[in-house]
Homo-oligomer: A and B are copies of this chain.
Amino acid sequence: MAQHISSIADFKMEVNQSFVDKGVELEPKFIETKSEPIQLVELEKDRDNNWMLSKHSSFELKQTESLGKGEAVCFDFGNHQVGYVSFKIKPIGSPPDAPAHLRIKFGETLCEIGEDSKDYEGWLSSSWIQEEFMHIDVLPAVINMPRRYAFRYMEIKVLDTSPKYQLIFEEIRCRTVSSADMSNVAPLSSNVDEDLIKMDRVALKTLHDCMQSVFEDGPKRDRRLWIGDLRLQASANYFTFKNYDLVKRCLYLFAGLTQNEGRVGACLFIEPHMLVDDTALLDYSLFFISCLHDYYEATRDRAILEELWPVAYKQAVLSLRELDEAGVVKDREGFWAFIDWHKDLNKQGAVQGVLIYTLKQASKMAEELGCLEEVQLLDTYIKQASKGTLQKLWDEEQGFFISGKDRQISWATQVWMVLADVLEQQENEALLDRLFEKNPKINMVTPYMNHHLVEALILNGRKEKALEIMKSYWGEMIKDGADCFWELYNPEDKKESPYGSNIINSYCHAWSCTPTYFIRKYFI
């Protein structure tokens, strides 16, 4: 998820050093591999103004032709890479009598190579654009680029040399890094549908490339630990890479670095030192409960459940303040919860769903721990909130949950109410069917929200429909050339970006990795 201007005015960080130390100690080992370009490519725009390959040629000779001022070459590594790039640069002609000046661009997709970065005017920082300018005074040289890039395509453009010499590039390499071990992943049975096998592979690659020092949301952008992404990544991880320690690390870090009053923050920074961001999102704070709940379900690690339960419970308690006397979350202005990127979405209804959903998980953990007082308090509020939901947010006539003073009916609200199990199972099923039938205008725009729809469908006897969504959404992304699943995808408008330009979108994004979770949990 991308950054926002929603700082807490009197923000301060509360530190539980013991938790932080445990998180720090769990720093993962990185698995490194070497990769190199498989071909050279050239780009052009198609009729719809999308960048596509116009030409590709072999790179068997492993070195470029000599390039002079203004000439460029684009390498295709064949798949998504996250890592550190190095190359050799050799002069040809007279001794180099001026520095070499290069521009190097990295793109997860072709649009990042094709578009001119200077034209970028989106609202996310242009500093995310993976474009470097470099002077090389002494030639030949081995260049070890110090930053980590996420890319499939790498373009080197010679901005200038001198009329007396040109440049040859060779030994273009990427040292890829990940804390996910692909060898831990069980192969899918060959009975599985070919489309699902492909989808699983792309989802695995997505998760793999986001698993670094922590679960990053995207290795290109924002390269950091958001709890909304973590929750989905962890779920997928339990069925694939099984790196339980990385989840544990992230749980300890979120628990050790909280905001005012012990609120779990929306995201953490890892460098130069561990730090909780000043962004507060109600749904994201509550997801600490889900993360701990799911971790315990996956590991039955009672020690960590006991240790971190107070932090989870705190999130539940803090959230109760947000309820009005009827037990309904008070609606708010501004960026107070995430839910989805839809710009017109009123979030009250969906957050109410998240609240009930997570309070139920909290109650379950309290019961497991024998914390009877807490169980009682949570159950009281669950009941109250459920009742309030039905009284205030259920529109009997339309058969949908509404949200906000304008009684907005959105996909997100229905999905979260289904996941919260406010209605009986049969009513849930009917609500989901009605949702597809009536198709409310306020739809879903992220893979993140689509995940929750699929989960709701599966849990309510609509596996076929779930599969259909998976194929028409994640499956379509693959048809559109996705090497990893993207942060954002609208099959109706493939260049859509909430940030003002698709070159800033993340094309390997954690919250999109869950097809592997669905496939491995429900479809094999």
Contact = CB atoms under 8 A, between A and B. Distances in A.
A271 B69 CA distance: 22
Contact of A162 (B127, B140, B141, B272): B127
Nearest to A101: B127
A434 interface: no
Nearest to A69: B125
A125 B97 CA distance: 9
A163 B97 contact: no
Contact of A159 (B69, B127, B277): B127
B3 A97 contact: yes
B125 A3 contact: no
A174 to B, nearest CB: 18
A127 B100 contact: yes
A5 B271 CA distance: 49
A123 B97 CA distance: 13
A128 interface: yes
Given A127-B135, A127-B160, A133-B133, A95 B5 contact: no
Given A98-B125, A124-B98, A133-B132, A3 B162 contact: yes
A203 B140 CA distance: 35
Interface in A88-102: 94-101
A261 to B, nearest CB: 19
B160 A94 contact: no
Interface residues of A, number: 42
Given A95-B278, A101-B127, A127-B162, 19 more contacts: A3-B98, A3-B162, A3-B163, A94-B277, A95-B275, A95-B277, A97-B224, A97-B277, A98-B222, A99-B128, A101-B125, A125-B161, A125-B162, A126-B159, A132-B133, A133-B133, A135-B147, A137-B147, A138-B272
Interface string A82-114: 000000000000111111110000000000000
Interface in A132-165: 132-133, 135, 137-141, 147, 159-164
A99 to B, nearest CB: 4
Given A133-B133, A272-B139, A278 B162 contact: no
A380 interface: no
Contact of A126 (B101, B126, B221): B101
Contact of A99 (B5, B95, B127, B278): B127
Contacts of A271: 137-138
A278 B135 contact: no
A394 interface: no
A101 B133 CA distance: 12
19 contacts: A3-B97, A3-B164, A5-B163, A5-B164, A7-B164, A69-B125, A95-B277, A97-B269, A98-B221, A101-B125, A126-B159, A127-B135, A127-B159, A127-B161, A132-B133, A133-B133, A135-B147, A138-B272, A139-B272
Contacts of A224: 97
A269 B3 contact: no
Nearest to A267: B97
- Most chain B CB within 10 A, of A5, A98, A163, A224, is at A98
A160 B7 contact: no
Contacts of A101: 125-127
A95 B257 CA distance: 14
A132 B221 CA distance: 23
A138 B369 CA distance: 41
Contacts of A159: 126-127
Nearest to A96: B269
A95 B277 CA distance: 6
- Most chain B CB within 10 A, of A99, A125, A140, A271, is at A125
Nearest to A223: B137
Interface in A164-197: 164
- Most chain B CB within 10 A, of A69, A97, A271, is at A97
Interface in A1-23: 3, 5, 7
B125 A160 contact: yes
Contacts of A222: 97-98
A275 B164 CA distance: 15
- Most chain B CB within 10 A, of A128, A141, A147, A164, is at A164
Contacts of A135: 127, 132, 147
B95 A269 contact: yes
Contacts of A269: 95-97
Interface in A275-302: 275, 277-278
A272 B142 CA distance: 12
A3 B161 CA distance: 12
Interface string A427-451: 0000000000000000000000000
A277 B101 CA distance: 21
A177 B97 CA distance: 22
